[in-house]
């Protein structure tokens, strides 16, 4: 009985799996996360913490629920990340004056400095991801991704 290598078993060309949008998107997200983590290792923030800081940098003060939506995390995970960011001195949580049930999260001065360090890295990675695409193609690509997201949200 002869042993076959993976290379011998793989069919030529793209498989049905490789043509699935979900397969490609998962690989894109994985590679993006690997790239971001390697570039931001010196800053000392995880992917989730980076998304929290970038969300607060973009939107200003947010409720914990809004942050869960923007930074893509479930409530318990978000609470642990915010605890850690608060201990690092990057965020501050306070009770809303309008609705005492809400906790508002803002960046501290140190958090804003970290955001200023993270922002150009994220912008460069996003620009390099779309190298070779014309501006119209980038806009169409963004619209297509938005449509895919909307389709998934309505399932």
Asked if 151 and 77 count as a contact pair (C-beta separation under 8 A), the reply is: no
pLDDT for the residue 15: 83
Residue 104, beta-bridge partner list: 63, 94
Low-confidence ranges of the chain (pLDDT < 50): none
**CA 124, CA 145: separation in Å to the nearest integer?**
19
Q: What's the pLDDT score for residue 117?
A: 96
E-assigned strands of 88-141? 91-95, 103-107
Query: In terms of DSSP bridges, do strands 91-95 and 103-107 run parallel, antiparallel, or are they unpaired?
Result: antiparallel
Task: Give pTM, 2 decimals.
Answer: 0.84
pLDDT at 12: 61
d(CA 122, CA 35): 10
Could you give all domains of the chain from N- to C-terminal order, each with its CATH number?
Answer: 42-126 (1.10.10.10)
pLDDT in tens, 31-41: 999 999 999 98
DSSP state of 3: -
Burial of 22-50, coded b for 16+ CB within 10 Å and e otherwise, reads: eeeeeeeeeeeeeebeeebeeeebebbbb
């Amino acid at each position: 009985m002869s042993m076959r290598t993976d290379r011998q078993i793989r069919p030529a060309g793209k498989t049905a799996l490789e043509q699935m949008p979900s397969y490609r998107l998962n690989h894109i997200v994985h590679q993006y996360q690997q790239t971001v983590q390697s570039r931001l290792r010196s800053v000392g923030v995880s992917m989730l913490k980076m998304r929290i800081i970038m969300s607060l940098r973009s939107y200003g003060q947010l409720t914990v629920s809004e942050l869960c939506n923007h930074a893509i995390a479930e409530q318990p995970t978000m609470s642990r990340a915010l605890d850690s960011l608060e201990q690092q001195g990057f965020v501050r949580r306070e009770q809303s004056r309008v609705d005492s049930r809400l906790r508002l999260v803002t960046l501290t001065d140190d958090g804003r400095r970290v955001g200023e360090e993270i922002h150009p890295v994220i912008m460069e990675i996003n620009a390099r991801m779309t190298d070779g695409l014309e501006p119209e193609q980038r806009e169409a690509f963004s619209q297509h991704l938005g449509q895919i997201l909307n389709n998934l949200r309505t399932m």
